[in-house]
Structure formats: structure tokens, C-alpha cells
Amino acid sequence: MTTTSHSSLGALRRHCITAVACLAAVAAFVAREPAAPAHRVATTVNASVSNADVLARAAAPKAPRTFSYGWPVRPFDRQHPVRGSFADPRSIFLGAPTRHGLLTSACACSYHQGIDISAPDGTPVYPVRSGTVRIVTSEWVEVDSNAGSAFQYWHIAPLVRVGDHVEERRTVLGHILKASNHVHLTQLQDGRAVNPLAAGNIGPYADATTPHVNRIEFRASDAASPLLPEFLHGRVELVADASDEPAIPVPGRWNGLPVTPAKITFRVEHLPDHRVAIAETVAADVTRSLPATPDMWHTYARGTHMNMVKMGSHRYWFQPGVYLFKLTPAPFDTHRLPDGAYALIVTASDTAGNHSSSTQIFSVHNRASWLGA
């Protein structure tokens, strides 16, 4: 499933009012686009999609994905809601927002090492593969399987002991703890976490939802306020706010809360001719495994937080997460581009291949004459 969205003419003009070349780019950009349908909205991100469109896309036949193990709760051969994605930001802030409304206080932050499968408290949890119990704690167990693979099951009251042999779909490892309402599943291969939602892992799993790039912004630094896109110069942070919906709705208080996309890419085109200035570049990709750098802030920009974030002693129930992706690991040097108008196109994808793109027009002005020097 693929969708693409662009800024309206009004939004483009608003970003280009200071440069004649940029205004020319607007005309060419719009001329390149097909006429907007009546339901399209004038935003810098995704166009509206009717319910009929969504249902038609969801009903479109797809080849079933291959998988190698079932779900850890009954029924094993039916897909269950996933309320937490692999590598999403796990963030507990030690204080309140401190700068520009962004969460810049000290943080116990990390990548989510697995997926959170929604299920009622007390639900029995079973191994997805047979193996030997290697670790047992008060709330999680690890089962080693063959060929270097292992699985961890968190937020359960264990019923097994170290050394026990357990059978997939038969042995009850434990029951989901009170007030947890989910089991966390970590899949390890040779000691490294891999994405259970990647093709060939858990199943059956189907996903017809489309990730979206909600906004694109430029910052002078990681914790700074957004810059005007029509006056970029020097080094800037490129940041994209992107999110996805769970493949099937999550019940209870987690219903409607977003999850993270699996992949973010971007490219830059020169305007008005749409020549490629920077080829398609991967900003983040957790389709199969975690980023090489363990620091969460290597992937996410400040202002990012998990669903129902905790700040200081207060938990913000029902508060949706915000996922701000850095497009480059270090600030982008605008001197890489000649002065002029450009389109930054960002694409968000999931493990099923659904994706959509959004565009932000910007102008580079590094010459002294443009800056009044």
C-alpha cells in the first residue's frame, strides 16, 4: 500500500515568500501535481483519505506473509493487537519540560527491545518455540531454542524453573501480571534483539495501516525551536515527526495510541526542475534489528516521548507518544547545496511495506547578500 502527499499551493507560497526563484518553483511544483480532489486538505502533510478508501485498501488481497512461530497467547494461530513496536522510544523523564516546550530533562531512555502484545491480566503465556529455560526472575523468563535463538517473556508471574524443558503451545510459562495487560516478547538471535514483526518471524501477521509523516521541521540544534524553512543557512537538524497505527485496534486505554514506523528515508530535490540533489537516504531502519548505536538520541530528536509518558512523579495517562526522527546523525551542512529552493521528501514505512511520503519546501541562503551581512 502506498500513499503520497504534498503541500498545497498556499502552504508552498507561505514558505517561499522571500525568494523569486522559490516562487517560480511553486508554480512548477504545482503544475507537476495532478488536480487535488475535493476532499484534500491544505496542510504540509498527508491528504485526507475517505473511510471507503481505507476499507478498500484493507480488503485488497495480499500474499500471506511467511512466519516461523505463532503467538505466545491463545489462540496461537490468530493475530493479536500489538500496542508497542520494536525499537520505539522508552522514555521516563526525571523532570518536566525545560526548554522550548521540549523534553530536555534527564531521562531513563532506551530502544524498546521487543513488541508488546495486548492481552488481559492473568492470561496464560506459552513459549513460541520449544527450548530450555535459562533465566527466571520475578516477572520474566528466557527460553533458549536452537541455532542461537532465544525468547524473553516479560510481565508474567513465572511457573517454570531454570533448566526446565518447555514445549511450544503446551507449557504455561506463567500468567500476565496484574495491571500489565500485555506480554512483552523479545526475540534474540546470537544475543542480539531482532524485530519479531519482520517477515519470517511471528505470525500470522497482516498489516494494512499506512505510516504517516506528520510534519517536517528544521532546527538550529537538537533541543531548539523550529527554524523558518525559507531562510536556512549553516548547519541545521532535519527532523521528521512520523507515526503509524497498530495493525489491529488495541483494546482499553491504549486504544488509538500511535506506534512507530519501521523505516524512515528522505531525499532532496532541486526546484523547480526536481533534479535530485540528495539521493534517497536511510535515516532509520529497524525493520529487522536495532540501530547499531545503542543511544536512543542517535535516532530520535528531543521532544520525542513514549505513549503515556512519565515526567517526574506524574504519569500522563492517555497522552499519545511523539516520535521525532533525526534524518541525519549529525547536523546537516546546508553548504552542500547551492543557494536556492528545494523539496525535502520524507517517507515512512512499516514491516509490511506500507508507506507514505510528505514534502517540505525550503530555501538555502548561505550567501552574505541574502543574510544582510
CATH number of the domain residue 130 falls in: 2.70.70.10
**Residues 283, 318 within the same domain:** yes
Q: Are residues 285 and 350 in the same domain?
A: yes
CA distance 317 to 269: 41
315 band by pLDDT with thresholds 50, 70 and 90: confident
Same domain, 285 and 360: yes
Task: Specify the higher pLDDT residue, 24 or 306.
Answer: 306
Within-domain flag for 251: yes
Spatial neighbors of 46 by CB under 8 A, at least 6 apart, are 3, 5, 212, 213, 214, 356, 358
Distance CA 320, CA 306 (A): 7
Q: Are 186 and 269 in the same domain?
A: no
Based on the fold, state whether residues 178 and 302 are members of the same structural domain. Answer: no
Same domain, 151 and 289: no
Average pLDDT value for residue range 76-103? 85
> Does 71 map to a domain?
no
State how far the Cα of 115 lies from the Cα of 122, in Å rounded to an integer.
19
* 215 and 187 fall within a common domain: no
The grid coordinates of residue 2 equal 502506498
pLDDT at 17 over 70: no
E strand or H helix at 45, and its extent? Answer: none
- 86 with 53, same domain? no
Cell numbers representing residue 220 in the block: 538550529
Note the pLDDT of residue 181. Answer: 98
What average pLDDT does range 295-320 have in this prediction? Answer: 90
- Residue 124 within a domain: yes
Tell me, yes or no, whether 163 lies in a domain.
yes
Q: Which of the four pLDDT bands, split at 50, 70 and 90, describes residue 312?
A: confident
Same domain flag for 94 and 140: yes
- Residue 112 clears pLDDT 70, i.e. is over it: yes
d(CA 20, CA 340): 10
Tell me how far apart the alpha carbons of residues 26 and 189 are, in angstroms, rounded to a whole number. 49
Digit-coded pLDDT (tens) for 196-220: 999 999 999 999 999 999 999 999 9
C-beta separation of 212 from 358 below 8 A:
yes
Q: Which domain holds residue 145?
A: 82-194
Secondary structure (3-state) at 103: coil
The reply to whether 276 and 181 lie within a common domain is: no
Residue 202 within a domain: no
CA dist., res. 184 & res. 73, Å (int): 11
Cell numbers 508471574 correspond to what residue?
157
Check if the beta carbon of residue 150 is closer than 8 Å to that of residue 199: no
**pLDDT above 80 (res 56):** no
Residue-wise pLDDT for 131-179, tens only, equals 999 999 999 999 999 889 999 999 999 999 999 999 999 999 999 999 9
Domain count, the chain: 2
Q: Are residues 225 and 154 in the same domain?
A: no
My answer on whether 279 and 212 are in the same domain is yes
Cell numbers found for residue 225: 525551536
